[in-house]
Amino acid sequence: MTLPGHQWRRRDALRLFATASGLMAAGVWRATASIASPTVLAQTSGAAACALTAEQEEGPFYVDLDLVRSDVREDQVGIPLNLTMTVLDMNTCQPLPNAAVDIWSANALGVYSAEAQLGSSGATFLRGLQITGADGTIQFTTLYPGWYTGRVNHIHMKVHVGGAATSASFDETGSHVAHTGQMFFPQDVNDAIAKISPYTSNRNAYVSNSQDGVYTSQSGSLSQLALTGNPSDGFSGSITLSVDPDATPAGVGAGGAAPGGTGRRGFGGPPPQPAP
């Protein structure tokens, strides 16, 4: 597998393993309690479990590909992330089936696919969509994202209600977006990841959660993934979203379209730097 501007070599893998072993020995990587199942949440937490998940901005790099798939990595390299997302109907506290959930994120170098201004026109890596089952749950195989100018490591998401899906594509006809948000990571894990190849090749200024305008002003701490795992074996992350399937929330964040992209620019400054 290749990453724009970075050749993945055997010594990189060995360095990754050695770094991960040292971090685990030092106690940097800790297991975070897994999120409870939707049924348990509804039974044990009452109304609090079904509080509406806060809206967050779409950002400038959303591309309407409607590409149904669970593994979004393609040829990209980085630390594996198995992502589990559960969607609840806030009105009933029950799982919301047949919702189409889009995710998209930057690669280890802070570059999004399908963006002409980033030199990735025509690429589709780290973008995909899944349909929730009867339990309201979907799973993606992706990578721990990199950071870029003004933005900490994060993954974008949209929840569509309505429409129709096949095994490979999603038809948005008759659908609407019931939630737009972002997923964040624990700061100590971000800090350690930044010291591991291929993230060490990211040329953008490093950004922490406390420096990220979306995290600090749009309830980012409430959409942080529960993580287990380590960098040598990869991570598993989980999150539960509570949405109103009948709602069409107004967009959040600053206005203005990004050059060559779609949606609102919002926080983040200029686009991330393309790979050399």
List of residues 6+ apart from 147 with CB closer than 8 A: 106, 110, 153, 190, 194, 202, 204, 206, 207
Give the domain extent around 19.
10-243
Residue 69 lies in a domain: yes
Q: Using the predicted structure, report yes or no on whether residue 216 has a pLDDT greater than 70.
A: yes
At residue 165 the predicted structure's pLDDT band, cuts being 50, 70 and 90, is: confident
Residue 274 lies in a domain: no
- How many separate domains does the chain show? 1
Q: What is the CATH number of the domain that holds 183?
A: 2.60.130.10
Query: Which is nearest to 191 in space by CA: 183, 203, 200, 181?
Result: 200
Residue 261 lies in a domain: no
Tell the burial category of 111 from Cβ atoms under 10 Å away from its Cβ (0-12, 13-18, 19+): buried
Residue 35 lies in a domain: yes
Residue 144 lies in a domain: yes
Residue 251 lies in a domain: no
Q: Collapse the DSSP code of 97 into the 3-class scheme (helix H, G, I; strand E, B; otherwise coil) and give the result.
A: coil
Residue 259 lies in a domain: no
pLDDT at 169: 86
Residue 56 lies in a domain: yes
Kindly report, residue by residue over 186-197, the tens digit of the pLDDT: 999 999 999 999
